[in-house]
Amino acid sequence: MSPFETPDEEEVDRINRLQRELFDELYSLFDPPLPEGVPGRLERIVASAEIVKGDSVLDVGSGTGILVPLIQAYEPARVFACDLSAAMLKQLRRHYPDVGAIVSDIRQLSLPDSMLDVVFINAVYPNIVDKWGAFTNLGRMTRQAGRMVISHPLGKAFIDSLREKVPFPLDNFPEKSEAEILFEPFGFSIKDFVDEPELYILVLTRQN
Measured distance CA(43)–CA(29) in Å, rounded: 20
CATH architecture of 9-206: 3-Layer(aba) Sandwich (3.40)
Distances (CA, A) of 202 to 7, 141, 153, 188: 24, 19, 12, 11
- Give SS3 for 159: helix
Determine what percent of the chain is predicted with pLDDT higher than 70: 99
Sign of CA dihedral 95, 82, 5, 42: negative
Measured distance CA(98)–CA(157) in Å, rounded: 34
Look at residue 28 in the predicted model and tell me its pLDDT: 77
Residue ranges of E strands in the chain: 56-60, 78-83, 100-103, 116-122, 142-152, 188-196, 199-206
Look at residue 52 in the predicted model and tell me its pLDDT: 97
45-55 confidence digits (pLDDT tens): 999 999 999 99
* Residue 25: how many other CB atoms lie within 10 Å: 11
Measured distance CA(101)–CA(79) in Å, rounded: 9
Q: What is the pTM of this model?
A: 0.96
Residue 208 scores a pLDDT above 80: no
104-127 confidence digits (pLDDT tens): 999 999 999 999 999 999 999 999
Look at residue 1 in the predicted model and tell me its pLDDT: 47
> Residue 107 carries which DSSP code?
G
For the chain, what are the domain ranges? Answer: 9-206
